[in-house]
Amino acid sequence: MNPLFEPLLESAPLARRLAPGLCRIDPASGESCAPSHGLWQYLRLLGLALSPEHHAELFQRALDGVVPASAPVRVLVSGAADYAMLALVLAALGRRHAQVSATVLDICETPLALNRWYAERIARPIETHCGDILGYSSREPFDVVCTHAFFAMFAPAQRPALLAKWHELLRPGGIAVTVNRVRPQAGAAQVGFGEDEVRALCDAVRARARAFGPALGADPDALARDAGTYARRQRFHPLRSAEEIRGLFEQAGFLIEHFSLAPIAQDAQTGVSGPTVPGTSDYLRVIARRR
């Protein structure tokens, strides 16, 4: 169990079981996201997935000053592969705010089922919403929107609409906090794992799963096969410039409070490269306040 209290050894098999039945079929490609949502938590257990915990300090800093201590706080998690962001938010706010209203939104039911499972386990009520963030609206505004690796789900032409949506969902003075990998060398086309990266990920999954031992509760060869399917399906719209994102926030009516570009801590980096693996890439970290 990691320090944020994430019972991954229990939720990883749950996600793997739920994903084939619950995951969404993309109407454009006809593909299900089950290979991703079903495997993600095993990848995290094996240290091969980059997730919000790698930038916990940024989220903590953003959440610390959002409303006065002990006041109620409303948080939206915008896109959630699993309950990692919820765990982080609740841990960060729990010390200072008795009343945290968290809503987790995703276009797929599997991450939401995992969030409900987690919330029930720790006896914290949450709301979940299954749908496209661009079509979401809320009667009450939020104090914070938290996102991780979410911009890459949107083509550059869609990003102004995403920023406008976060702006609409926040109260004046509310904040958006986000982390995204930046790839200055990328072209305009979508990126994924190269074939060498797929093989390296499969090998790393097999080796780490064997080293983990029986407590993992999954066959290393089967996980390695699933990792191959997962990696070959990944497609992202690369974020080519940090400045593009600064401009989008400012044009949407945000004031930038924190803007930095850096790799994750060296001891979390793996020898494996690939879009979703903790490696040596730079990550853009933004805290922006709604005017």
Ligand X SMILES: C[S@@+](CC[C@H](N)C(=O)[O-])C[C@H]1O[C@@H](n2cnc3c(N)ncnc32)[C@H](O)[C@@H]1O
Smallest separation (angstroms) from ligand X to the CB of 24: 7
According to the binding rule CB under 6 A, does residue 176 interact with ligand X?
no
Answer for which of 18, 22, 45, 80 binds ligand X (CB under 6 A) is 80
Distance CA 262, CA 185 (A): 16
According to the binding rule CB under 6 A, does residue 26 interact with ligand X?
no
Smallest separation (angstroms) from ligand X to the CB of 110: 8
User: Measuring CA to CA, how many Å separate 37 from each of 45, 71, 184, 187?
Assistant: 14, 34, 28, 27
The sign of the dihedral angle between the CA atoms of 58, 45, 280, 267 is positive
Name which of 93 and 206 has its Cβ closer to ligand X. 93
For ligand X, the binding residues in 48-67 under the rule CB under 6 A are 51-52
According to the binding rule CB under 6 A, does residue 164 interact with ligand X?
no
Applying CB under 6 A, the site for ligand X has a residue count of 19
Interaction pattern, residues 118-157, with ligand X; x per rule: CB under 6 A: --------------xx--------------xxx--x----
Smallest separation (angstroms) from ligand X to the CB of 49: 8
Pull the structure tokens for residue 80. Answer: 């959630």
Instruction: Region of 209 please: left (phi>0), alpha (psi -120 to 50) or beta.
Output: alpha
Nearest to 52 by CA among 222, 264, 201, 266: 264
Distance CA 61, CA 74 (A): 16
Q: Residue 110: in which H helix or E strand, if any?
A: helix 109-121
According to the binding rule CB under 6 A, does residue 83 interact with ligand X?
no
Distance CA 44, CA 87 (A): 14
Q: One-letter amino acid identity for 57?
A: E
Smallest separation (angstroms) from ligand X to the CB of 11: 13
According to the binding rule CB under 6 A, does residue 216 interact with ligand X?
no
For ligand X, the binding residues in 253-272 under the rule CB under 6 A are none
Smallest separation (angstroms) from ligand X to the CB of 70: 28
Residues that bind ligand X (CB under 6 A): 33, 51-52, 79-81, 84-85, 105-108, 111, 132-133, 148-150, 153
